[in-house]
A and B are shown apart, each in its own frame.
Chain A
Amino acid sequence: MARLYEYQGKELLRSAGINVPPGRVARSAVEAGAVAEEIGGRVVLKAQVFVTGRAAAGGIQFAENAPAAERLAGRTMLGRPIKGQRCEMVLVERTVEIAREMYAAVIVDNAARRPVVLFSSVGGSGVEAIAAAHPEALVTTEVDPRCGLAAFEAREIARRAGLRGRELVGVADVIHKLYGVAAASEARAAEINPLVIASGGEVVAVDCRITVDDYAVFRHPELGVAVAREFDRPPTALDLIAYEVEKDDYRGTFYFVQLAEGFGRADRYVAFHGAGGGGSMMSMDAALAEGFRIANFCDTSGNPPASKVYRAARILLAQSNLVGYFGSGSGVASQEQFHSARGLVKAFREVGLDIPCVERLGGNQEERAIQILTQYTADLPAPIECYGKDTSARFCARRLRDLTETYDYAAAREKPVPPSHSSSYAFETVTQGTVSFDYSRCDSCASKVCVEECVPQILALEGDRPALNITPEEARRGRCSECLACEVECHARGNGGGKITLPIPGLEAYLKSRA
Chain B
Amino acid sequence: MAILINSEDRVLVQGITGREGRARTRLMRGYGTNVVAGVSPGHGGEEVEGVPVFDTVAAAAETEGELYASVVFVPGPAVKEAALEAFAAGVKLAVLVPDRVPIWDVLAIEAAARDAGARYVGPNTLGLLSVDKAVLGMVGGRAEAARQWFRPGPVGIASRSGGITSSLAYYLGRAGIGATTLIHVGGDPVIGTPLQDVVRMFQDDPETKAVVMFGEIGGSQEESVAELIAEGVVTKPVVAFVGGKAAKEGTRFSHAGAIVEGSRGTYEGKVGALREAGAVVVDDYDEVAEHTLGVLRDLGT
Q: Which residues of A contact B (CB under 8 A)?
A: 1, 103, 105, 107-111, 113-116, 118, 127-128, 131, 138, 140, 144-146, 183, 186, 188-189, 191, 193, 209, 211, 213, 215-216, 218-219, 230, 232, 250-253, 275-279, 281-282, 284-285, 288, 301-303, 329-336, 362-365, 389-390, 392, 394, 478, 481
Contacts and interface: CB of A to CB of B under 8 A. Distances in A.
A304 to B, nearest CB: 10
30 contacts: A1-B253, A107-B254, A107-B257, A111-B220, A113-B190, A114-B107, A128-B259, A145-B107, A191-B254, A193-B255, A216-B102, A216-B104, A232-B251, A250-B98, A276-B161, A278-B159, A278-B160, A279-B161, A279-B167, A281-B247, A330-B162, A332-B167, A333-B141, A333-B166, A334-B126, A334-B138, A334-B141, A334-B166, A364-B141, A364-B142
B170 A389 contact: yes
A144 B105 CA distance: 13
B244 to A, nearest CB: 5
Contacts of B19: 251, 478, 481
Given A218-B77, A278-B214, A127 B259 contact: yes
The 4 closest A-B pairs by CB, nearest first: A278-B161, A330-B163, A276-B163, A334-B141
Contacts of B105: 216
A285 B253 CA distance: 25
A342 to B, nearest CB: 16
Name, among A115, A230, A301, A330, the residue most crowded by chain B CB atoms within 10 Å (CB to CB). Answer: A330
Interface string B134-145: 000011111001
Contact of A363 (B141, B159, B190, B251): B141
A227 B247 CA distance: 22
Contacts of A111: 194, 219-220, 224, 260
Interface of B: 19-20, 23, 75-77, 98-108, 110-111, 126, 138-142, 145, 149, 159-164, 166-167, 169-171, 174, 187, 189-190, 192, 194, 214, 216, 219-220, 224, 243-247, 251, 253-260, 285-286
Given A275-B163, A276-B162, A288-B246, A230 B108 contact: no
B141 A278 contact: no
A481 B22 CA distance: 13
Contacts of A281: 216, 243-244, 246-247
Q: Which of B164, B214, B251 has the largest count of A CB atoms less than 10 A from its CB?
A: B164
Contacts of B187: 277
Contact of A188 (B100, B149, B253): B253
Given A113-B190, A332-B149, A389-B170, A285 B246 contact: yes
Contacts of A103: 255
A362 B105 CA distance: 34
A261 B27 CA distance: 43
Contacts of B23: 303
A215 B103 contact: yes
Given A105-B256, A215-B103, A279 B164 contact: yes
- Give chain A's interface secondary structure class: mixed
A146 B285 contact: no
B103 A278 contact: no
A333 B220 CA distance: 26
A110 B189 contact: yes
A250 B256 CA distance: 31
A279 B216 CA distance: 11
A116 B76 contact: no
Contacts of A110: 189-190, 219-220
Nearest to B255: A127
A251 B253 CA distance: 28
A118 to B, nearest CB: 5
A303 to B, nearest CB: 7
B163 A332 contact: yes
A419 to B, nearest CB: 30
A107 B103 CA distance: 11
A276 to B, nearest CB: 3
A443 to B, nearest CB: 33
Nearest to A479: B19
A215 B101 contact: yes
Nearest to B224: A111
A189 B254 contact: yes
Given A113-B110, A333-B141, A105 B255 contact: yes
A213 B105 CA distance: 11
B20 A303 contact: yes
Contacts of A332: 149, 163, 166-167, 169-171
A146 B163 contact: no
B136 to A, nearest CB: 13
Contacts of B160: 278
Contacts of B103: 108, 186, 188, 213, 215-216
A312 to B, nearest CB: 15
Given A215-B100, A336-B141, A389-B167, A108 B107 contact: yes
B259 A301 contact: no
B56 to A, nearest CB: 22
Nearest to B162: A276
